[in-house]
Amino acid sequence: MTRTSESGEPIEPVYGPKDLRDLDPERDLGEPGSFPFTRGVYPTMYVRRPWTMRQYAGFSTAADSNRRYQQLIAAGTTGLSVAFDLPTQMGYDSDAPQSHGEVGKVGVAIDSIEDMHTLLRGIPLGTVSTSMTINAPAAVLLLLYQLVAEETGVPAGELTGTIQNDILKEYIARGTYIYPPEPSLRLVADTFAYCGKHVPRWNTISISGYHMAEAGATPVQEIAFTLANAKEYVRTALRSGLAVDDFAPRLSFFFVARTTLLEEVAKFRAARWLWAHIMADEFGAKDPRSQMLRFHTQTAGVQLTAQQPEVNMTRVAIQALAAVLGGTQSLHTNSYDEAIALPTEKAARLALRTQQVLAYETDLTATADPLAGSYAVESMTAAIRDAAVDLIGKVEGMGGAVAAIGQGFQKSEIERSAYQVAQQIDAGDRVVVGVNKFTIADAESYEPLRVDPAIEREQADRLSDLRARRDGAEVARCLDEIRRVAAGTDNVLYPLRDALRARATVGEVCNALRDIWGVYQPGDVG
């Protein structure tokens, strides 16, 4: 019986030379570090240094999260990755009615520049690369990061890191949007322009397939919808007057790594090939950095199980191996207990150690692109590439990503795939170890990390104190300026920066934009 891949393509029992007869080594593969970058974006990949090892962390208060970051840095992580709580992601302060019960639960609560100072205390911002998983208010959190750096003596030009800033996938799969697509895209383009002048080493967007994959997208859907979104961002930036090679080198991507190792490696290779051709052929990018698909990977949270959680250690190791063999630029490995609760310190450290074993105890870093020429991987790469081209074509035929979102196309396609997987698991046709096969009768006890609900009151008290100490008239003037600029066409990041420097809160500046731009309702297309 022939198995099929996650994307529905047949996986042959045996691959051989016949499967590569249509492969043009120069056109389709090239060398690592050269167009079309199928074999990797850098000539030596990990031979000189491994990928950036990030650990995604953030919970409770800024002080609690700072302690976890210090522990991770001491354990050898080379890049931080900040998780924000749901109110912060939605642009609400911790004392807003909409925030009740959610403060600090799925990430750290950041309400103001003072919280950001606490979060980053003692971290060398000039040398540590920081990724922030934030979308609708991404520009706000980036500005807070910049202001904290400058107030602690680190010039903005030295800062390195990434904001996710990928609002389109929020409409498709995740739901933490605030404003309608048109002003949201304007905010993305304003961020590109602002960072080009003031924070030039910062990656201004991390265009994400990860969250679509977590919602049920297949590997083909993941890269096709991600690259279709990326094309929309490029068009938006071009319409705003930016030149492609002025902003495209700072575009980055974010993908999942599943346990289906061979297909995942092929997916990453196909995505690089596709992006190189999209940028060179469709947008006329000349700078090789504009043609490189650089990406962060996170192991697949959706594949972790609460049953027999120690088995997740094996899953994460395999997923991390897929990311490394696929040529990722940075990697977060999930902790084995994440299907139960926030990761404990021990579990987070073990997840980091998994990366360190791959980097320093295996021979994966001795050569670039070790799976190049594999009959199976090269054949799968071509199949994923061709299927993704077809799916991108469907999105483009609808008028592009935003128009397709308005028609519910991406969401319905992903939901259909997720439903099929659920049916397969329920029927036993897809084995999930410890869930529908190889189960045990008695579950072992486990004490999860819990967030103290008292932090919501503590955050509210800090906000009250901040508002009492600041210059209220100056904050009000700055908020009015945000509204004025948002109603026009100037870059809105400048008045946002001034307001945050004056100690306006995240919720206050987001509300000022809500006043002008409104709030997105599903079904809106612009």
Q: Are strands 202-203 and 161-163 parallel, antiparallel or unpaired?
A: parallel
Grade residue 27 by pLDDT with cuts at 50, 70 and 90: confident
Task: Report which secondary-structure segment, H or E, holds 466.
Answer: helix 455-469
Query: Closest Cα to residue 53, out of 301, 296, 304, 319?
Result: 296
Q: What is the pLDDT of residues 93-125, one digit of tens each?
A: 999 999 999 999 999 999 999 999 999 999 999
For the chain, what is the total number of helices (H) and then of strands (E)? Answer: 20, 11
Q: Which of 2-6, 289-293, 497-501 has the lowest mean pLDDT?
A: 2-6
Q: State how far the Cα of 48 lies from the Cα of 51, in Å rounded to an integer.
A: 10
Grade residue 216 by pLDDT with cuts at 50, 70 and 90: very high
Q: Are strands 3-4 and 10-11 parallel, antiparallel or unpaired?
A: antiparallel
The answer on pLDDT for 364 being more than 80 is yes
The answer on pLDDT for 523 being more than 70 is no
**What domains can you pick out in the chain, each with its CATH number?**
37-427 (3.20.20.240)
Six-digit token pair at 439? Answer: 């189960």
For 27, residues 6+ apart whose C-beta sits below 8 A from its C-beta are 36
Q: What is the pLDDT of residues 54-96, one digit of tens each?
A: 888 888 999 999 999 999 999 998 889 999 999 999 999 999 9
> Hey, what amino acid is at 59?
F
- Rounded to two decimals, the pTM is 0.94
Q: What is the pLDDT of residue 522?
A: 83
Q: What is the pLDDT of residues 315-352, one digit of tens each?
A: 999 999 999 999 999 999 999 999 998 888 899 999 99
Can you tell me the mean pLDDT for 427-445? 87
